[in-house]
Amino acid sequence: MQDNIQNAIQQALEESPERKFVESVEIAFTLKDVDLKNPANRIQEEVRLPTGRGKPVRITMFAGGEMATKAKAAGIDVIDPSTIEDLGGNRQQARKMANKSDFFLSEIPHMGTVGRFLGVVLGPRGKMPRPVPPNLDPGMIATGLKDTAMVRSRDRITFHTALGSREQGVDDLTANAMAIWNRVTGKLERGAGNIRSCYIKTSMGPSIKVEVTE
């Protein structure tokens, strides 16, 4: 499979002209013979990418006091917990907030408030915050997330995730793609036998089909 994926990445890069921004490179899966109405069969994985995401990751934390200070020092955006209820009351602003960041963190005492007022926006996007215990430096968590890809099928047979950026080169992108491929197929009862199709593309480029072999 590695050669097939690498060939598709190479073709996707060659057939997508250079843009004025750094394009992400994405991998898309379509499953077969998997009952995704059963939540136990759904794919929801955090995959550590061996060569990183290739572009900056934005992380936001719901925190106050000393924890907010630590978060800001680590380059994390901070939302004052006292504004959570108001933010939840403005759906447009809440959606903008949710789309702006890749990952969210929260001090443990604020998790319930976030879920109550922002869960309807963050939940469907797979962005509910990770709880940060009081004795843990949020910067350590942020460092790990900067190399992490979220792979979520929800109840849909077709889903995709970014595996890196086109600045990384074919070898690095292939390593990342294989990490995602192995994790997804490892969660399926028949492995690659449950993959109907797989495609590679840049953000604005054509989709290149990967030949799937079991």
Q: Give the burial class of 59: count Cβ atoms within 10 A of its Cβ; 0-12 exposed, 13-18 middle, 19 or more buried.
A: buried
Residue 214 has a pLDDT of 74
Q: Are 5 and 171 in contact (CB under 8 A)?
A: no
Residue with structure tokens 């960041």? Answer: 101
Greatest extent of the chain over all pairs of C-alpha atoms, in Å: 53
pLDDT band at 76 (very low <50, low <70, confident <90, very high): very high
Q: Where in the chain is the domain with CATH 3.40.50.790?
A: 59-145
Q: Is the pLDDT of residue 93 over 80?
A: yes
What's the chain's average pLDDT? 94
Element holding 70 (H helix, E strand) = helix 65-73
Per-residue pLDDT, 17: 87
Topology annotation, domain 2-54+148-210: Ribulose 1,5 Bisphosphate Carboxylase/Oxygenase (3.30.190)
Q: DSSP code of 14? A: H
The proportion of the chain whose per-residue pLDDT surpasses 70, expressed as a percent, equals: 100
Measure the CA–CA gap between 153 and 32, rounded to whole angstroms.
12
Q: What is the pLDDT of residue 10?
A: 97
Chain segment 167-186, per-residue pLDDT in tens: 999 999 999 999 999 999 99
* Assigned CATH class of 59-145: alpha beta
The model's pLDDT over 100-158, given as tens digits with 9 standing for 90+, comes to 999 999 999 999 999 999 999 999 888 999 999 999 999 999 988 989 999 999 999 99
- Each residue's pLDDT tens digit, 50-72: 999 998 889 999 999 999 999 99
Listed in order, the ranges of the chain carrying CATH 3.30.190.20 are: 2-54+148-210
Euclidean distance between CA atoms 162 and 147, whole angstroms: 11
Q: Over range 21-32, report the average pLDDT.
A: 95
pLDDT at residue 132, rounded to an integer: 95
Task: Give me the sign of the Cα torsion angle 84, 87, 93, 98.
Answer: positive
pTM of the model: 0.84
Whole-number pLDDT of residue 39: 92
Instruction: List Cβ neighbours of 134 (8 Å cut-off, separation of 6 or more).
Output: 67, 107, 108
